Chains A and B, each alone.
Chain A
Amino acid sequence: MNDTSEPIVRFIDVQKSYDGEVLVVKNLNLDIARGEFLTMLGPSGSGKTTCLMMLAGFEPATHGEILLSGRPINNVPPYKRGIGMVFQNYALFPHMSVWENLAFPLEVRRMDKAEVKRRITRALEMVRLPEMAGRRPGQLSGGQQQRVAVARALVFDPDLVLMDEPLGALDKNLREEMQYEIKHIHESLGVSVVYVTHDQAEALTMSNRIAVFNDGIVQQLSSPDELYERPQNAFVAQFIGENNRLLGTVKEINGDSCTVEVDGSGIVQALPVNISGNGERTTLSLRPERVTINPPEGTVPNVFDGTVEELIYLGDHIRTRVNVCGHDDFIVKVPNASGHAALAEKATVKVGWATEDCRALDAS
């Protein structure tokens, strides 16, 4: 990744409406760096596919501009954009063999026979399917079709590849295997990838940066660790990873700590992230692994009494559901470390956490 070169894709104030009544994409501004693996992550219907389709040229933007390598492409038809694309159902041409599928983009570009052969051979080796060239897509397994689709999108050496939920149809093991494979292909070729998924684990595994979509808006655009550790708003905190929510009202903000009165159960010290003033409603966000059961006296400022409701043994940790501050769905992940006190259901415990692990976000 070279930060000084211009972005390969720029969305500038892009809006999109299908019916003239609802904005499916509301004012999208997004720069995608050359060689980057950027994931659009969001729940179904949040406008991810629409963004991808506008970039690929199959849907016009209602407003705004999309630049590809600095060139506006609003009036460039899809076949002149030179963007590789992997579709969710793979869209491999069923009446052509794997070889013919891969040859298609090359023959369209009038490459000579030897070059076509060289490139297809290389692409098939890249996806580890060299002996499948003569098969029809229908004779391949889901994972193999997936690989052929990736190979076809890359065989003509595009600078940019779009993938719309490409692993959605695969089972869990295969999906994880393919995630690594796509990631490795990306790293070895240096191609820019825009990847769409609604699976947060997939996004966290694969991406350089993740754009979290909701309701036609990019909620946060950051690296995976940033996104997980420092969510900027309540939606992101809730959508990425597991999250305990406590609703309350801001009492006082001073520097990098604030005091929040949690509804019906007292005062909590928290890190102000997305709040602006006293009296404002806020959502406190707490990761389950950052909460301690029975913390040593005086180590953390926030300590509350709770009752263990449920224990689920998961090997490396014990998922503990605790009734605390009037919430009976408060989750604590207790590491299964040696010498850890065994908990019993219905036991009374103390639950505590540090100020910086408790993020005060917007109210919704």
Chain B
Amino acid sequence: MAEATAGKIVLTTADGVPLKRKLRQTQQLMKRRAFTLVLPLLAFIGITFVWPIALMVYRGIDNPVLSEFMPNAAEAVLDWDSSQSELPPEEVFAIVARDLVQARKDKTVGKVATRLNYELPGSRSLITSSARKLSRVEDGPWMEAMLKADSDWGKRETWAALQRIAPRYTGSFYLAALDMTYDENGAIVSQPENRQIYVTLFVRTLWVSLFITLACALLAYPISYLMATQPLRISNLLMILVLLPFWTSLLVRTTSWIVLLQTEGVLNDIMVALGLIGDENRIQMIYNMTGTIVAMVHILLPFMVLPLFSVMKTISPSYVRAAQSLGATPARAFWKVYFPQTVPGIGAGSILVFILAIGYYITPALVGGRTGQLISNFIAFHMQKSLNWGLAAALGGILLFGVLALYWLYNRLVGIDNMKLG
């Protein structure tokens, strides 16, 4: 500051304060006032949005069970250098056995069993039954006692799994969400073929969302154009038709798609009546991916129409006229002059639809059947049924980071300031 103004005349206000400082003071006051105005909303968003998301991402790496309920065992297992010996030494067996007995007394052994079961499917009873049997054993040698309680304690695999759930934080939920796991030597490997589901599901969700976005854009463009160019009376009517879905409950809309599309439904009946298809080969249009896509396109269409319409509304018809007066055919005038000006609307609508679609839950759950499920349905499953919140959080976290990455990509390709919502 001083160097910058050195040599120049420093402008001052009437009372001799440098002009720049005075200006900064007044602006700071204004900034502070503006900040006070947004503070309540900022706090609200912080509490209801940022904080829960941070918690969710955290839960994906959080691994408290063993270190909390069997702290000595966790420490001992971590200290064991698995590359040196096939099985841990006797004193580790002893500590684990004593902690198991203690956990049974504290009634927390079930949680430990569940946690180990995520890591090593089928190992629930190993923990619970061993704990029960060991509680009757007075004294060591513990290795022998444990092997007697369950021969699985003699497997390196068991101890490797125990070692993996011992640290306070773990990457195994995120690995599991990507169909990967640690092998007994701690190396990261793919899950066996028959247990790989999430990557396929992520990819499927991505493609389905992209497809829905594209379908919405293709369907919304002409109707938005019509709405933006027709006289007010007609465009209002069209707007009501577009918004009609918003005014009916999501459940009602989805159910009406079931009525329309099911094998004994209206559409199939009509086609059979017209002789287009035989009565015996009615088309399955719901409880599969078709159902999911049809219903979701319908539900998300307004989110494409509204930004497109509001952008098109501001494009004066004189642009296309000017292009034509300059010699461009209507098609060329549209493609070179009209369409580029609607790109911000397409961008805004696409981002909106895509982000809604990628996390959509209720419609696939209702009309998706077995093959029309998306990643959000599995997140919900792990939240509500399997209660594997760590995995649910990891799946959600990956979804979040994926969307952020796509958002970043979009910004690089199209430019986010190029987006216009109205």
A, B in one complex: yes
- Which chain B residues lie closer than 8 Å to A82 at the CB level? 327
- Which chain A residues lie closer than 8 Å to B33 at the CB level? none
Tell me whether B322 is interfacial, beta carbon within 8 Å. Answer: yes
Do A87 and B327 contact each other (CB < 8 Å), given the known contacts A93-B337, A95-B341, A104-B336? Answer: no
Do A56 and B325 contact each other (CB < 8 Å), given the known contacts A91-B316, A91-B318, A104-B336? Answer: yes
Q: How far is the CB of A91 from chain B (nearest CB, A)?
A: 4
Q: Which residue of A lies closest to B340 (CB)?
A: A95
Tell me whether A306 is interfacial, beta carbon within 8 Å. Answer: no
Considering only residues 38-87 of chain A, those with a C-beta below 8 Å from chain B are 56-58, 77-85, 87
Tell me whether B168 is interfacial, beta carbon within 8 Å. Answer: no
A152→B326 contact, CB < 8 A: yes
CA A89 to CA B325, docked complex, whole Å? 15
CA A76 to CA B381, docked complex, whole Å? 65
Contact with B along A123-167 (1 / 0, CB 8 A): 000000000000000000000000000001100100000100000
CA A57 to CA B327, docked complex, whole Å? 12
A79→B337 contact, CB < 8 A: no
Considering only residues 314-341 of chain B, those with a C-beta below 8 Å from chain A are 316, 318-319, 321-330, 332-333, 336-337, 340-341
A91→B327 contact, CB < 8 A: no
- Which chain A residues lie closer than 8 Å to B329 at the CB level? 79
B321→A78 contact, CB < 8 A: yes
- Which chain B residues lie closer than 8 Å to A162 at the CB level? 325
B322→A79 contact, CB < 8 A: no
How many interface residues does A have (CB within 8 Å)? 28
- Which chain B residues lie closer than 8 Å to A93 at the CB level? 319, 322-323, 337
Q: How many A-B residue pairs have CB under 8 A?
A: 63
- Which chain B residues lie closer than 8 Å to A79 at the CB level? 324-330, 333
- Which chain A residues lie closer than 8 Å to B322 at the CB level? 85, 87, 91-93
A104→B323 contact, CB < 8 A: yes
Of the residues B319, B326, B330, contact of A156 by C-beta under 8 Å:
B326
- Which chain B residues lie closer than 8 Å to A104 at the CB level? 323, 326, 328, 336
CA A181 to CA B138, docked complex, whole Å? 110
Q: How far is the CB of B330 from chain A (nearest CB, A)?
A: 8
- Which chain B residues lie closer than 8 Å to A190 at the CB level? none
CA A83 to CA B325, docked complex, whole Å? 6
A108→B319 contact, CB < 8 A: no
Q: How far is the CB of A107 from chain B (nearest CB, A)?
A: 9
Of the residues B325, B336, B337, contact of A78 by C-beta under 8 Å:
B325
CA A162 to CA B329, docked complex, whole Å? 19
CA A88 to CA B321, docked complex, whole Å? 12
Could you list which residues of chain A lie within 8 angstroms of chain B, going by C-beta atoms? 56-58, 77-85, 87-89, 91-95, 104-105, 108-109, 152-153, 156, 162
Can you list 10 pairs linking A and B with CB atoms under 8 Å apart? A56-B321, A58-B324, A77-B330, A78-B325, A79-B327, A91-B321, A91-B322, A93-B319, A104-B323, A105-B327
Known: A83-B325, A85-B322, A92-B322. 18 other contacts (CB 8 A): A56-B325, A57-B324, A77-B330, A79-B329, A82-B327, A84-B326, A87-B321, A93-B323, A93-B337, A94-B341, A104-B326, A104-B328, A105-B326, A105-B327, A105-B328, A108-B328, A109-B327, A162-B325
